[in-house]
Amino acid sequence: MTRGALVTTVTLVLLMGSSAADLRASLRTAADAYLKNIAAIAPVAGRDTTYDYYERLRDDADALEDPEVPPGYTAGEWSQTASNVATLDLSLTTQFLEKRYVPMASIHGLGEALVRSSKDGTLQPVAVYVPARYQPGTPAPLVIFLHGRPQSESQLLAPPYIAEIAERTGAIVVAPWGRGYYDFRRSTQDVYDAARAARDAFTIDRRKEFLAGYSMGGFAVYEVAAAHPDEWSAVMSIAGALLGSDAQHVISVMSRTAFYVLTGAQDDSIPTRYPSATAGFLRSAGLAVSFYSLPGGTHRLITLLPILAQAWSDMLHGVVRAPPESFGNLTLPGVIPTLTLRP
């Protein structure tokens, strides 16, 4: 199949909807075409992550074939999530192959766009969700959402519950890939490029711009937000924590920022004492911090939905739910724990 035929096939799949079998066939065809053209794609996408997008297509096809449903999902929810991931990654691949890129402003609902890096000029992927109620000219909240590891931006925004939260709150959600760099420390500028691109594409309420992160992203938000602290109305850390090595810098530059800290009491990947210690430390330092813990919650984001929905709404409305004073006696982690679960 030629590249032009591939683009036509994939475009029809994206526009008309598809079965799992259709998606699997499109993913494999796209993977073959991508690999054949990878030398031409590398300078555009960045040589360090170009192969990652090929691996995504193969992983997506495997996920559509796997009958196992991850804990916390119904069969229908997981089927929709896997389909959404595949569709987003197909869109990304098609844009690179066709060299015609989706304008972020054209996205309605869930979509994938490419943002020009201010660091090296490469095109970096971001997943985007735009709620149905959004109207150009009417300012909307913006949430920049950092993914976990091993996870991509498409996997973070693909589950239906992200759409439900965004629709309920009217927030535009943008998830940068960050080149897959561990904890975003070498791709901080990509996060800010994504925020700038969202402001250019949509009418954003500059008083309601938030940085959120899950798992690895829940650790990264403290480092990333501190780079330009005045840009964020609040910061949300889900199943993450503030590292002791970053603590003094964060409180010195973000004393006016509100923080929202979430944890599952049964998290067997990031011990709940670390988010608890983070909330206690921030409170002791005099910062506005809200804390949420779910007794049956694990490391999987879907198991934290009750507190995620509450904290997301609180964040957008400036509600503060302070942690117990006793949390100030806990110790911040020195390093990010080795993750034992796929998010």
Over residues 251-302, the pLDDT tens digits come to: 999 999 999 999 999 999 999 999 999 999 999 999 999 999 999 999 999 9
The residue among 265, 269, 259, 275 whose CA lies nearest residue 321 is 259
- Cα dihedral 15→17→21→26 (10° resolution): 10
Residue written as tokens 């929810």? 77
Do 65 and 187 fall into the same domain? no
Is residue 248 scored above 70 in pLDDT? yes
Of the three residues 100, 116, 145, the one that is the final residue of a domain is 100
Is residue 145 scored above 90 in pLDDT? yes
226-246: burial string, b at 16+ Cβ within 10 Å, e else: beebebbbbbbbbbbbbbeee
- Cα dihedral 11→17→21→22 (10° resolution): -20
Do 286 and 297 fall into the same domain? yes
Residue 256 in 3-state DSSP? Answer: coil
Instruction: Check residue 92 and give its pLDDT.
Output: 97
Is residue 15 scored above 50 in pLDDT? no
Do 55 and 188 fall into the same domain? no
Of the three residues 100, 135, 161, the one that is the final residue of a domain is 100
Percent of the chain with pLDDT over 90: 87
Instruction: Check residue 70 and give its pLDDT.
Output: 93
Do 65 and 133 fall into the same domain? no
The span from the CA of 225 to the CA of 228, in Å, is 6
Is residue 3 scored above 70 in pLDDT? no
Instruction: Check residue 11 and give its pLDDT.
Output: 43
Number of domains in the chain: 2
Q: What's the whole-model pTM score?
A: 0.93
Is residue 179 within 8 Å of 167, Cβ to Cβ?
no
Is residue 325 scored above 90 in pLDDT? no
The span from the CA of 213 to the CA of 153, in Å, is 11
Do 57 and 108 fall into the same domain? no
Is residue 343 scored above 80 in pLDDT? no
Say which residues have a Cβ less than 8 Å from residue 136's Cβ, sequence separation at least 6: 202, 203
Do 159 and 126 fall into the same domain? yes
Say which residues have a Cβ less than 8 Å from residue 285's Cβ, sequence separation at least 6: 251, 255
Average per-residue pLDDT in the chain? 93
Do 235 and 245 fall into the same domain? yes
Over residues 169-200, the pLDDT tens digits come to: 999 999 999 998 988 989 999 999 999 999 99
* CB neighbour class for 136 (10 Å; exposed up to 12, middle 13-18, buried from 19): exposed
Quick one: tokens of 10? Answer: 């994939």
Instruction: Check residue 240 and give its pLDDT.
Output: 97
Is residue 57 scored above 60 in pLDDT? yes
Q: How far is CA 49 from CA 62, 86, 180, in A?
A: 20, 18, 7
Of the three residues 75, 100, 125, the one that is the final residue of a domain is 100
Do 121 and 80 fall into the same domain? no
Do 228 and 113 fall into the same domain? yes
Do 71 and 197 fall into the same domain? no
Instruction: Check residue 9 and give its pLDDT.
Output: 39
DSSP labels for 87-119?
Answer: HHHHHHHHHHHHT----GGG--EEEEEEEE-TT
Return the CATH number at 172. Answer: 3.40.50.1820
Radius of gyration of the chain from its Cα atoms, rounded to whole angstroms: 20
DSSP labels for 40-96?
Answer: HHHHHH-TTTHHHHHHHHHHHHHHHH--PPPTT--HHHHHHHHHHHHHHHHHHHHHH
Instruction: Check residue 6 and give its pLDDT.
Output: 47
Do 50 and 173 fall into the same domain? no
Taking residues 198-203, what's their average pLDDT?
Answer: 98
Do 162 and 274 fall into the same domain? yes
Domain that holds residue 119: 102-343
